[in-house]
Structure 1
Amino acid sequence: MSCLSSALSELYPPKPSFTENDLPDLSSKVYLITGGTSGIGLALAKILYSKNAKVYITSRTDASAEKAAAEIKASVTSGKGEIRYLVIDLSDLSTIAPGVKSFLAQEEVLHTVWFNAGVMNVSKGSVTQQGYELQWGTNVVAHFIMNKLLMPILLSTAQTAPKGSVRVVWVSSDGHIMLSPRGDGIDWQDIGTKKPIGWKGEKGSMTYYGQSKVGNVLLAMELAQRYGNHNIVGVSLNPGHLKTNLQRHSNPIGSTVVSWLMLHDPHLGALTELYAGFSESIGLHNNGAYIIPWGRLGRTRSDIEAGFRDRGTGKKLWDMMEEETKELLFFDD
């Protein structure tokens, strides 16, 4: 398939082959979705809830979480599903451990986590509370910390769950292919924790966004290598081009035109995430897979693949994240 036909296939995908109708009853199963208060995450939460799962969503505030929970409950007229929430602000890494600690106090199993939340096209020079470029800090670093803190419960769950069913799903984007620097997909000299005073985001917001989405792909592949022998599957995906709050920082006129030409209903993106979380086409045999809309096996860019395979970029990123976040990888008493 040519690059053009591949890109068009992801912009205008064929009909989904895996939907909520292919899911079994999910009673006794526990799932976690970051950013489950709107867009794709909200749509996915509704699907899982309708199948009687216990679903946790994250939110920056109690108010937005309670509003989303009420909408999820109202979407199903009958059933045994549960919806709960954790207050976590991914742009402030200090909120992650308390949120995960709250989850672990309530649950003994976790069957799949979707690292779904993200930001895109932020103002130049935007940073997190800890000084990361905002997209890198939110999309990559925050989810890395969550993954590390959740890994013990995932490992425990995987000991008795069907092989290949416990999964960590990293939501990337085709922006990781189209917008990231050539070579490894990441400029290793420009992802340091602290940005200097007056930093302007010299590469441009969308380049930093693409770089953060490469981070998601690399972490999924590296997780597959580190934990595959423990029966845990790492997956990354492009959910599709969707009408969500991800465009909230974009020019409103441009966003309207783009929405009309190429954006789809968030439910379809939820089906991409559903495929990544449940399809038997994914498992330990192809751990680290990359999924494209609306639920198909795809491939990342050749230089990014080569970087992971030949230059150890997944390990490099993982080790870097562990070193930079080591003070946040524990729970306060």
Structure 2
Amino acid sequence: MYIKKILWAIALIGLLICAYVAYFIYGAMFSPNTSFENETAYIYVPTNATYPEVRSQLEPLLDDIEAFDALANQKRYTTNLKAGRFAITKGMNNNDIINSIRSKNLPLKIAFNNQHSIADLAERISTQIEADSLSLLNAMTDEAFLTKNGFNKATALGMYLPNSYEFFWNTSAETFRDRMLTEYNRFWTETRKAQAKKLNLSPNEIITLASIVHEESKQADEQPRVAGVYLNRLRIGMPLQADPTLKFAAYQLPKYKNTIIRRVLNIHKEIDSPYNTYKNTGLPPGLIAMPDLSAINAVLKPETHSYLYFAADAKRIGYHKFAKTLGQHNNNARAYHSYLSSQGINK
């Protein structure tokens, strides 16, 4: 009888222990364990991250980090981390959190436009994905890649068409670059290639000219007319005489570093550079900035007209006055120069 009581007591204690363990496991797995007020929080797990690195991001977001640790260890998450961007929803339990950050890498939208160099673009992209600016710059300027795909360092920026794109946060520099090449090739449809051929220009030349058009006018409704002027000049062998190319050439010189040229002067026209389109005929070697898609399409579908000149319009800032003769143009230019002087803009 006494032994039976002992056995019952042992069994009862065992049941209590099992109940406690079950309660602990249930609480660790299925009880809500978030401490933030927003509906969703995100963590970013770097490539080759360690569990302590992930834990440091999770700790401010969870009520009970020790309970999470216990379950993460039991489910072997601590030794099997996945890189990426992951969401934690308010009210999630530890089990759901682990399932989310182990297998639900979320893509994000990245965007870029108006970058003035490959280095600027690399810096811009590095703020949006895991790859750092140096690895991006190295991938974008890799000579073997550029040569294989018909680019060089002067035209490399033209491969990156400004838009928004969906990527995983943990995208590598090479993966980003290769995806942009795919998007570039997709943009150059047979129709667009035929439009370029009709103008006797290659895709690289189209984008180079588009970069000048875009720097001259940010107005999408005016860009086809500006493109038409430059194409008319190219057709008759006249220098492009594009002021934005003079600024680009100047900014490559030490004396113009960290300066802003607001007014192109005769001294700038004497700069010895292949980008000086006052001294050299034809297109410069490459882009002077990243053009918007509107400027690229403006070059592919230019306005047909007889204008050879244009000057900024002081009465419609951002727009231009167009002229067919040098005399008309000089009158328009004088009016704008007078406006600049009245504003105290002398350099």
TM-score tier after normalising by the smaller chain length: under 0.3
**TM-score relative to the length of structure 1:** 0.22
Of the two structures, which has the highest relative contact order with CA contacts closer than 8 Å and spacing of 6 or more?
Answer: 1
**TM-score relative to the length of structure 2:** 0.21
